C-alpha cells in the first residue's frame, strides 16, 4: 500500500537526504573495492532507517524516508581506480603549470 500523502523532504543544511547519506557512506566504496551496488544498498538502508519530523499547517508529522529507484542494476558495477594518468590529466597539469607560472611572473614583476 502506498500512502496518499507524498512529500519531498530535504535536510535544512545538507539538502537532499540521498546525497546526505551518500556522503556519509562514501567509505563503503573503498571497503567493497568500488562495488557501486553494495554502496547504493547501504545508502538505501541508511535512508530507510532514518525518521524525519516536519510540520505542515501546524500539524507535526513523523515519517520514514525512502529513495525512489528508477533503475536497478542486476550485476555488480565496479569503479576501478585509474592505473595511469590520462591525456586529460596531462593537459590539465600543463594548463595549471602555465597558469601558476604566469601568476609567479606577475608576482615577481610586482616586487621590483
Write out pLDDT tens, residues 49-83: 888 777 777 888 787 777 666 666 666 666 666 66
> Does domain 1-80 fall into CATH 3.10.20.740?
no
Question: DSSP character for 35?
Answer: B
Residues 32, 38 contacting (CB under 8 angstroms):
yes
Cell numbers given for 39 = 554502496
Measured between alpha carbons, how far is 45 from 25 in angstroms, rounded to an integer?
11
Q: What percent of the chain has pLDDT over 70?
A: 71
Domain ranges of the chain: 1-80, 82-112
Measured between alpha carbons, how far is 109 from 103 in angstroms, rounded to an integer?
10
HSE-CB for 107 with a 13 A CA cutoff: 6
pLDDT score, position 2: 46
Mean pLDDT score across all residues of the chain: 76
87 pLDDT exceeds 70? Answer: yes
Cell numbers given for 78 = 565496479
Amino acid at each position: 500500500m502506498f500512502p496518499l500523502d507524498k512529500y519531498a523532504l530535504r535536510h535544512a543544511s545538507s539538502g537532499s537526504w540521498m546525497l546526505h547519506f551518500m556522503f556519509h557512506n562514501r567509505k563503503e566504496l573503498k571497503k567493497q573495492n568500488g562495488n557501486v551496488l553494495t554502496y547504493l544498498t547501504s545508502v538505501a538502508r541508511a535512508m530507510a532507517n532514518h525518521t524525519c519530523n516536519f510540520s505542515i499547517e501546524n500539524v507535526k508529522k513523523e515519517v520514514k524516508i525512502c529513495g525512489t529507484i528508477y533503475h536497478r542494476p542486476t550485476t555488480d558495477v565496479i569503479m576501478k581506480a585509474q592505473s595511469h594518468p590520462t591525456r586529460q590529466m596531462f593537459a590539465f597539469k600543463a594548463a595549471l603549470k602555465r597558469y601558476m607560472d604566469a601568476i609567479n611572473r606577475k608576482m615577481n614583476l610586482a616586487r621590483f
